[in-house]
Structure 1
Amino acid sequence: MLQAIFYARFHPERGPELFSQWPPGLALFRGSIESSNGLLEFSELSTFLVPPQDLTNRALSVCVNGYRILGFPISLEGAHYPRNRFAFDVCVVLDESLEESWLKSWEAVVAKLARFMRDLEANGSTKGMLSREETIRDAGGEETGVVNKVLKGVFEDLAEYGECCVRVSKSRVLNLRLSAPTDDPVTTPKVQIWDVPLLVRSLQSFDYATLDLVLAQIAPHVNGVSHVKKIAQLADVHLPLARKAIRTLVRSGHAMTLDIFHFQAVYQLTADFAWFVGDAQMIDECRGYIAINPADNILATSWDAATRLRASEISPLTRTTVIELYSAIDGTSPVAEFCIAHEMHLYNIDVRRLFTFGIIKGFVRRRQKYVVGSNTSNITDRASNAARWKPESDPNKAWRNAAFSSGWATPPVHSPTMTKDPLPSGKQLRDDLDAKLAKYLDGQHCIDQMCVELGMTEKAVLARLNSGAFGDAAVLLR
């Protein structure tokens, strides 16, 4: 799809010329600085690639010899430039057979790239960067490499990942993403704050300093264990921003979302388990993913001396063991009971990864718990009445309101007695908690959502639901 990218400029003495291109050895233009046996004639296209001023600052497309050249020529005026003008263009070379549906995506990429290059030259700490590089090269000196760096980064990363991130200076970072065509839309995934993101493809840059600011902060905490809300807290990022960044990772295929793993969770096999059993290569991949040193097992803290001795003598993990463990997932027992029943086979296995691998491949799924309560209306009414009669939270504001209503011309700034609201009683706290829990007891909200949004453990939620305050509360698995 992407064949080449090049930077052309208008030289004050020589006129339009090719300044740099990538790949550097590609014989794209005849009569250029790169080759005399290229596929295209630069002089014939120069009028379009570096056009007159009245055709600049807009998208241009040229089709010739089976190629489509997309550009966005830029013209900057200033008395410090020769001829009072600095004109250039950054173009991408695509196959002419490119589907029309992709053109808008490429045009958007080229337009953003052109604006970025314009800002490098015209604004901020990098002002004059492009013209200085050209002056150095014209004088026979070594170039600073800014143009080459941008062209190389854009070409290689867009071709490989469909996106790129190129840092030019401390304050200048170019981020481009080739969006899917409008006639083949990608559905924006729903990411909830109780979802657990897991990276399934490495980020384009391992240097977090070159990433989006929010992504750079949350990336170290995306580990397949922490949910979105916890990641936002650990990274000190506003929750909606963290959620949006993770949704972008999921949409671009860099991450997927899992359910929260804990030992009260219930899992079941899907119909795809038969496919897993018949794929020896997939089983071996699973063995490598879940195998750990017995000393690192999270269950090791509860082992006695005899168990630790058996763990040190455990034989290597076999395919049969993997299949037997997955076959033992019955869809009704929580993970804790599964671990107790199969402790002898879990010495050198990471339990969390055992279930996570199955979810990633699609032959294991989590059965979520939902609650239906029979006595939620009375709890809601009680909480509403308590809120209606709640005293003024700010005593100074209450005093000033009373002073104004009494007809005082200038009420005092402070109340004569600095009273404080009494701390809420245990009954008030329980009523508030019950009112919040009651909103989730319609069978449409999973317990993971309750735990994350209310900041409670599943054990604490179930204990309150079983207190009788909500009548007969039924927990459903589905």
Structure 2
Amino acid sequence: MDVQQTPGPIDGLFFAQFHPKFGPQIQYKYPPDCISCDLFDKLTNFIIPKPDVLRQVVTITSLGVKVKGYPNKIEDSKYERNALLFNLCLVFKPEARTAPYRPLIHKLSDYLHSLETENGFLSDEESRKQLPLMMEQLYHDLNDTGRCVLKLKLRHPLHIAKELEQKALIEATAAEMGERRLSFSERRRWDSGPQGRGRVGVVGGVRPGGGGCGIGSVGSGGPASGETCGGRGCAMDRDTHQPEEIAVLYLKVVDACEAPVPVGEEQVPVLVKPDISEDQHLLDLTTQQILPYIDGVDHVAKIACLANVELDLAKKCVQNLVYYEIVQLLPIFQYSNVYVHNTEEMMQLYWSSVLQQKCLEYVVGDAAGEPLLFDQVFRLYAKFTRGRTVRQICYCELQLGVSFPPPPPSGVTAHTKPKLPPNVDIRRLVKFGLMHGIIRRIQQYPLYTPHFNKKHKRDRRSESQTSSSQSLRRFCDGTASYDLLCSKFCMTNKELHNRLAQDKEISILWK
């Protein structure tokens, strides 16, 4: 587990590219001291790596820094070595937690890849000048707010098409004039000469001096004055003096969330946000169907049956509600359950007046009856220990089943006042304790351990005596609790216990 609980922060960014003559180089970096040239040279094999490592997130932790990047490659014959290799990297401290930056660095690298293939962003010197400003904005925005909106100016596609066609025109002219390239001065004289002087029409291209596509032969000058190519929708017939395009990219550091907890069919969902019913129209249809049956008493299997929903689908819906902290999962309440109190949470309850008030308001049995004192509630929680069921606590502490004498008639003073039990709802007392970690459930897990004699053969007599529990043995592996088996076989806790007690090869584990 990483030392830091929050992502980052970013110490710097740098853009590295493979130069066709000098090899890997840092083109831009921010801040200027985020990484030294010597350190870059030592890590260069991982920043601009071999083809096997390309197009995947690479994290380097060495020499006092942590570098995270996504090396990318664009193959095209227009590049000097038929490929462009680049990598935009983030620099962190070695102990920084960088997992949330994985999708961001992946998205950013693919974004630059698309800009280059569609618009030549990295190849064009004017466009590349925006990279330092972009890196500075990324550094400050991601560290301050964890999100960033990048806006980059791109050349208009018609301008790019015009440049490509002019390049093709120059190459064709050079080939006609003796297979040589024109110098810059010759090119200017060629373009600024008289109309039609030495003009070359390019099949499928554009006549530089006219407004249509030149389909004439060499020296023809394209269509005559006043004529058009007649091509409907010709790109170069449109207005090329349009504003530059703006490319927008939204980035956000999304911290990785924990995987949703698995939901068992024997667990009881309890609503912790009752106001969710007001926004019920925002939920999916299946969740809307099972939500009215979540009452904090019925378990998931019974809720699925009442709502007429498949069990697996109901479990997924409850799992989604648990993930967004709308419900909380508790074990089934039974008077035969055993709970134990947690010392640390008991101390927190003892010292927190806010938690005490919440507890008293939640667990009181009759609001119009005897006032409930915190000492009574705290003493009840302390009685939850191993080997003591809820039924025993009720009989001993709440004095259930004990009749109290009626109050004396008016005018007669009683010599002794009977001690009344606390005005508490035991079910809500257990529920509040489980929800706040004050108590926890001790479950029973049956474990099937077959007995062998000296010749490693089963005792047939024992097997015949336990025939009634043969169907349960395949579930008795020490991982299925009593609650789960009761739900699967539709039995009460007492029926299951009596049935398992008949099998001498099944032991009961408490944990």
Q: TM-score range by the shorter chain?
A: 0.3 to 0.5
User: Which structure's CA Rg is the greater one?
Assistant: 2
Kindly indicate which of the two structures has a greater share of residues assigned to helix: 1
TM-score normalised over the length of structure 2: 0.43
- Normalised by the length of structure 1, the TM-score is 0.46
